[in-house]
Structure 1
């Protein structure tokens, strides 16, 4: 049995399952230690990748329509190619690390089962360097199906993964120095789950300076960063203070 898992054609899939197990243990340890590893990874992804403005909302699950009127089999618009792929895998509805665990599990099991079938039917397995890319692409629709199911059954408050497009119109506090045009600074805000996020912000106007500690209103998202204006309404308070 061990020889089967360590055979050249099986190694990529065995490694994937081992990484999955290690990641699962790491998440458990982080959970017991109180580290918000899921939130940190989700924030990093949505801040670093140009995600689509539209994130699927499932609406009526019995009809397959999303709340926004899009079909569940459709693709989100906007964002970079990588961002659209991540949204297609329901990142933004399911925590990134959970999607990664699902991918590693499906990839590893699909590869090992496929190689086993080949050995039993034709007497040989496909070399790992050929099998791994093929299984990778075969795995993606299965991963999407699994993560789509998770997104349907997970209560919305169970995941803090949100589209950065939802930050537009929110207030934030500049915390990473003064922000100038072309020289963004870090700002802090909270989403509807009361999870704190850090985003890069620069002024909407070229000659404006947003000073550290000032309250600003996020108005646009361009290439993974936000433009902002000084808080126009004294009645608005920092989202991070809610």
Structure 2
């Protein structure tokens, strides 16, 4: 069976399975990449119903949802190829099998994702709005933050969940190097503006 899994007819599903394991490992070791604020502005755009249907409306972490989708795609693809082999003596060509598995796996994943959202209430209580990150401190991880040139920073919320955001200095002439602790003071879209802790205005905060 393992050798069959590596043949061209099954290769898309083998790749999906490996990616699923990799994402599961990332989520499992707690790198904090699983939570994205997908629900912050979708209501105004009228897409909330679509997210609900996909299983994302319940604040299910995106990496868990993606892992579920890859798993459903893999299972659907293997079942499709096994069925084709039983009926016609050979599996389908991989593009045809991939299309069918994507459709079947996507439908199956709506059920699985919504089920996971119901049995994982801990995520519903720990997911916060992007606005809640304001007035919290974080650390610039890499790059140098300048006006017009944001850097990546890590913010830990009140639940201990890490969020990774892009930050620029609040002051036009400020420069914030990697390793600097900052205070998020305002937001424009997905971009945050921060004051470095070395700023004398923050020493009493």
TM-score (norm 2): 0.65
Partner residue, 2:186: 219
Q: Deviations over 1:83-102 (max 9, x none)?
A: xxxx9452983344433432
Residue 126, structure 1, aligned to residue 92, structure 2: yes
Q: Are 1:51 and 1:164, in contact at CA under 8 Å, matched by a contact in 2?
A: no
CA RMSD, aligned part only? 4.4
Partner residue, 2:167: 201
Partner residue, 2:156: 190
Residue 171, structure 1, aligned to residue 136, structure 2: yes
> 1:235: Cα distance to partner?
11
Query: Mind listing any 5+ residue stretches in structure 2 that lack a counterpart?
Result: none
Q: Are 2:184 and 2:195, in contact at CA under 8 Å, matched by a contact in 1?
A: yes
Equivalent pairs counted in the alignment come to 196
> 1:18: Cα distance to partner?
5.4
Task: State how far apart, in whole Å, the 1-side matches of 2:173 and 2:101 are.
Answer: 51
Partner residue, 1:11: 11
Task: State how far apart, in whole Å, the 2-side matches of 1:18 and 1:187 are.
Answer: 29
Query: Mind listing any 5+ residue stretches in structure 1 that lack a counterpart?
Result: 56-67, 77-86, 238-242
Match of 1:199, SS?
strand
Task: State how far apart, in whole Å, the 2-side matches of 1:210 and 1:7 are.
Answer: 53
Q: Are 1:168 and 1:221, in contact at CA under 8 Å, matched by a contact in 2?
A: no
